[in-house]
Amino acid sequence: MVVDTYQKNNYKKYVNTIPSRERILFFLKSYKDLISQKKIENKFSINNQDDKKAFRRRLRAMERDKQIIHTYDHYYAVLENINMVTGKVIGHRDGYGFLRSEMLKEDLFLSIDQMKLCIHGDIILARIIKPEKKKRNSAKVLKILKPNNVLIVGRYYVEKKIQFVIPDDNRFNFKIFVVSSISKKNLSIGSIVVVKLNKNFLNRKNKVQGKIVEILGDKEMKTTLVTDIAIRTYAIPYLWPEKVKDQLYQIHNKIDKKELKSRIDLRHLPFFTIDEEDARDFDDAIFCKKKNDEEGGWNLWVAISDVSYYIKPGTAIDQEASKRGNSVYFPSLVVPMLPEKISTDLCSLNPNVERLCLICEMSLSNQGKLITYKYYEAVICSQGRFTYDEIFKIWNNDIKLCLKYNKSLKQIKNLFLLQKTLKKNDVSKKGVYFENVETKFTLDSNFKIKNIYQHVRNDAHKFIESCMILANICSAKFIQKHQYPILFRNHDCPTKDSVINFRRILNKLGLSLTGGEVPKPNHYSDLLKKIKNRSDCEMIQTILLRSMKQAVYSPDNRGHFGLSLSSYVHFTSPIRRYPDIILHRAIKNALFKSHKNKKNKSFNVYYKNNIKKIGVHCSMSERRADEATRDVMDWLKCDFMQKKIGDIFTGVVSHITSFGFFVRLNKYFIDGLVRIEQLSDDYYYFDPVSLKFIGKITRSTFCLGDVLKVKVISVNLHQKKIELSLCT
Rounded Cα distance between 639 and 636, Å, is 5
Kindly report, residue by residue over 663-696, the tens digit of the pLDDT.
999 999 899 999 998 888 889 999 887 788 999 9
Confidence of residue 133 (pLDDT cuts 50, 70, 90): low
Q: Where in the chain is the domain with CATH 1.10.10?
A: 8-79
Terminal CA-CA length for the chain: 82
118 φ/ψ angles, rounded to the nearest 5 degrees: -155, 175
Tell which residue, 27, 29, 81, 92, has the closest CA to residue 55: 27
Tell which residue, 207, 206, 208, 226, has the closest CA to residue 216: 226
pLDDT, position 278: 84
Beta pairing class for 449-456 and 437-443:
antiparallel
Rounded Cα distance between 655 and 311, Å, is 46
Comparing 173-187, 470-484, 686-700, the range with the smallest average pLDDT is 173-187
The residue count of the chain comes to: 728
- Tell how far CA 548 is from the center of its chain: 15
Assess contact for 209 and 318: CB atoms under 8 A: no
Confidence of residue 38 (pLDDT cuts 50, 70, 90): confident
pTM of the model: 0.86
546 φ/ψ angles, rounded to the nearest 5 degrees: -65, -30
Number of Cβ within 10 Å of residue 284's Cβ equals 24
What average pLDDT score do residues 384-388 get?
94
Rounded Cα distance between 571 and 474, Å, is 9
Q: Which residues have a Cβ under 8 Å from the Cβ of 250 and sit 6 or more positions away? A: none
- In CATH terms, 83-146 corresponds, of 2.40.50.100, 3.10.20.30, 3.30.360.10, 2.40.50.140, to 2.40.50.140
pLDDT, position 431: 78
What average pLDDT score do residues 170-199 get?
85
Number of Cβ within 10 Å of residue 700's Cβ equals 13
DSSP string of 567-626, one letter each residue: --B--S-TTTBHHHHHHHHHHHHHHHHHHHT---HHHHHHHHHHHHHHHHHHHHHHHHHH
Q: Where in the chain is the domain with CATH 2.40.50.640?
A: 152-220
526 φ/ψ angles, rounded to the nearest 5 degrees: -60, -40
Q: Angle at which helices 242-250 and 316-324 pack, to 10 degrees?
A: 130
CATH 1.10.287 fits 8-79, yes or no: no
Rounded Cα distance between 32 and 329, Å, is 51
Kindly report, residue by residue over 321-374, the tens digit of the pLDDT.
999 999 999 998 999 999 999 999 999 999 999 999 999 999 999 888 999 999
Kindly report, residue by residue over 619-670, the tens digit of the pLDDT.
999 999 999 999 999 999 999 999 999 999 999 998 899 899 999 999 998 9
Question: Hey, which bits of 245-342 come out as E strands?
Answer: 264-265, 273-275, 284-290, 298-305, 328-329, 334-335
Identity of residue 10: N
What average pLDDT score do residues 605-618 get?
83
pLDDT, position 11: 43
Kindly report, residue by residue over 220-235, the tens digit of the pLDDT.
788 999 999 999 999 9
Query: What residues are paired with 167 via a beta bridge?
Result: 154
Q: Which residues have a Cβ under 8 Å from the Cβ of 342 and sit 6 or more positions away? A: 248, 251, 307, 310, 311, 317, 575
Half-sphere exposure of 321 (CA within 13 A, CB side): 25
| Three-class secondary structure of residue 97 per DSSP | strand
Assess contact for 454 and 667: CB atoms under 8 A: no
Looking at residue 80, what DSSP letter applies?
Answer: G
pLDDT, position 565: 93
Rounded Cα distance between 37 and 56, Å, is 9
Tell which residue, 182, 186, 191, has the closest CA to residue 158: 191
Looking at residue 643, what DSSP letter applies?
Answer: G
Assess contact for 208 and 196: CB atoms under 8 A: no
Confidence of residue 438 (pLDDT cuts 50, 70, 90): confident
Beta pairing class for 152-159 and 162-167:
antiparallel
Half-sphere exposure of 161 (CA within 13 A, CB side): 0
Among 35-39, 125-129, 466-470, 546-550, the range with the most confident prediction by mean pLDDT is 466-470
Kindly report, residue by residue over 91-120, the tens digit of the pLDDT.
988 889 999 887 777 889 999 988 988 889
What average pLDDT score do residues 705-719 get?
92
To 5 degrees, how large is the angle CA 531–CA 535–CA 540?
50
Q: Which residues have a Cβ under 8 Å from the Cβ of 351 and sit 6 or more positions away? A: 273, 382, 383, 384, 385
CATH number of 645-726: 2.40.50.140
pLDDT, position 80: 67
Instruction: Check residues 295 and 515 and name the one with the higher pLDDT.
Output: 515
pLDDT, position 9: 44
Confidence of residue 568 (pLDDT cuts 50, 70, 90): very high
Confidence of residue 319 (pLDDT cuts 50, 70, 90): very high
Range 665-671, long-range pairs (CB < 8 A, 24+ positions) = 665/710, 666/535, 667/452, 668/452, 668/637, 668/640, 668/641, 669/439, 669/452, 669/454, 669/538, 670/452, 670/637, 670/640, 670/641, 670/722, 671/722
Q: Where are the alpha helices (DSSP H) in 186-328?
A: 223-233, 242-250, 257-261, 307-310, 316-324
* pLDDT for 606 beyond 70: no
Identity of residue 411: Q
Confidence of residue 2 (pLDDT cuts 50, 70, 90): very low
Identity of residue 541: Q
DSSP string of 138-203, one letter each residue: EEEEEEEEE-----EEEEEEEETTEEEEEESSTTS-S-EEEEEES-SSS--TT-EEEEEE-TT--S
Rounded Cα distance between 409 and 30, Å, is 81
Rounded Cα distance between 709 and 82, Å, is 54
Q: Where in the chain is the domain with CATH 2.40.50.140?
A: 83-146, 645-726
Percent of the chain with pLDDT over 90: 51
Ramachandran area for residue 369 (φ above 0: left; ψ -120 to 50: alpha; else beta): beta
Among 179-183, 428-432, 539-543, the range with the most confident prediction by mean pLDDT is 539-543
Tell which residue, 298, 310, 208, 299, has the closest CA to residue 255: 310
Assess contact for 381 and 303: CB atoms under 8 A: no
To 5 degrees, how large is the angle CA 572–CA 575–CA 579?
65
> What is the rounded average pLDDT for all residues in the chain?
87
pLDDT, position 597: 47
The CATH architecture that domain 152-220 belongs to is Beta Barrel (2.40)
Tell which residue, 234, 230, 328, has the closest CA to residue 281: 328
